[in-house]
């Protein structure tokens, strides 16, 4: 069953970028959940339906790539976008569906999210 408003889980250990991302995504019509760590994200995924995970790469504890690996082992169909200030794709980013550089800005982020969600719906 598809929902009218896709739910995105945003994960970042830095509160200001997390809040800004949440605001941008809500203005685009998404429901947005937030988590300040990979561990918190995994806990939320056990409790709530999520259509896509947008996670920062560099975080203490579980990195974004490690989080992507954990999620794909539990929920292989859940799309994951790895979001990083580093422009090079990290070697361990292969579990994410898409790697996106923060340098590309909010317009590219929103277009990528839309593309990934559209692709996921086709596969559902």
CB hemisphere CA count around 35 (13 angstroms): 27
Report pLDDT for 102.
87
CB hemisphere CA count around 121 (13 angstroms): 12
Report pLDDT for 33.
97
Name, in order, each residue with C-beta under 8 angstroms of 88's C-beta and a sequence gap of 6 or more: none
Each residue's pLDDT tens digit, 43-93: 999 999 999 999 999 999 999 999 999 999 999 999 999 988 776 777 777
Per domain, the residue ranges of the chain are 7-123
Instruction: Write out the two tokens for 37.
Output: 């760590």
Instruction: Write out the two tokens for 66.
Output: 């490690």
Report pLDDT for 3.
56
Note the residue count of the chain. Answer: 124
Which homologous superfamily does the CATH classification assign to the domain defined by 7-123? Response regulator (3.40.50.2300)
Instruction: Write out the two tokens for 34.
Output: 């937030």
Each residue's pLDDT tens digit, 99-111: 998 888 899 999 9
| C-alpha torsion 9→91→111→31, nearest 10 | 0
7: exposed, middle or buried (Cβ count in 10 Å: 0-12, 13-18, 19+): middle
**What is the C-alpha separation between 12 and 48, in angstroms, rounded?**
18
1 pLDDT higher than 50: no
């Amino acid at each position: 069953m598809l929902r009218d408003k896709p739910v995105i889980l945003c994960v970042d250990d830095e509160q200001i970028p997390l809040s800004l991302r949440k605001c941008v995504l809500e203005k685009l019509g998404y429901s947005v959940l937030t988590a300040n760590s990979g561990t918190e994200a995994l806990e939320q995924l056990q409790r709530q339906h999520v259509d896509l995970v947008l996670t920062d790469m560099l975080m203490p504890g579980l990195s974004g790539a490690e989080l992507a690996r954990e999620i794909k082992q539990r929920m292989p169909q859940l799309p994951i976008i790895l979001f990083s200030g580093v422009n090079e794709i990290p070697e361990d980013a292969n579990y994410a569906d898409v790697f996106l550089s923060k340098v590309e800005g909010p317009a590219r982020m929103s277009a990528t999210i839309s593309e990934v969600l559209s692709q996921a719906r086709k596969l559902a």
